Amino acid sequence: MKTPIPLESASAFIDAKIKELGDWRGKTLARVREIVHEADPEIVEEWKWVKATSPGTPVWSRGGIVCTGETYKNAVKMTFAKGAALKDPSGLFNSSLEGNVRRAIDIHEGEKVDEAALKELIRAAVALNLKGKYKPKSKPKSKPKPRRASSKRAK
């Protein structure tokens, strides 16, 4: 069984990742992190999916995963866990568009992200998570209607 990384340590892992990158990807990940917290100060930082082949991934959650911040050679990728269910009027999603659940934003070197639109997307993801967490109790189902006798008669 995996032991969760304490919240303080998760933030320290993200700090270390940003410092380790030391290039445009580190600066971009740091800015993405700031935008996430500006959009919703109650979002929690996590560090997930640590394994022998991967040091782990920064994750921002509130009521469930909101998004991740992965770094690749040519992009910083923000993957929204329930992105397919979110409206994206500004067209920020530009990756993982074929999936049924997730959507992502790939940010390449020198690209500017519409920060206001990104904050709205983050807030919408949080609202979707919280809506799913606090579902009102459903009404009891009514009894099934009795079946009618077949109108066909035996001959």
Pick the CATH number of 7-131 from 3.90.1150.200, 3.40.50.10310, 3.40.50.720, 3.40.630.10: 3.90.1150.200
Query: Is 0.85 topped by the overall pTM?
Result: no
Q: Which long-range contacts (CB under 8 A, 24 or more apart) does 59-63 make?
A: 59/10, 60/33, 60/36, 61/129, 62/126, 62/129, 62/130, 63/126, 63/129, 63/130, 63/132, 63/133
Structural domain spans, the chain: 7-131
Query: Which positions of the chain have pLDDT values less than 50?
Result: 1, 134-140
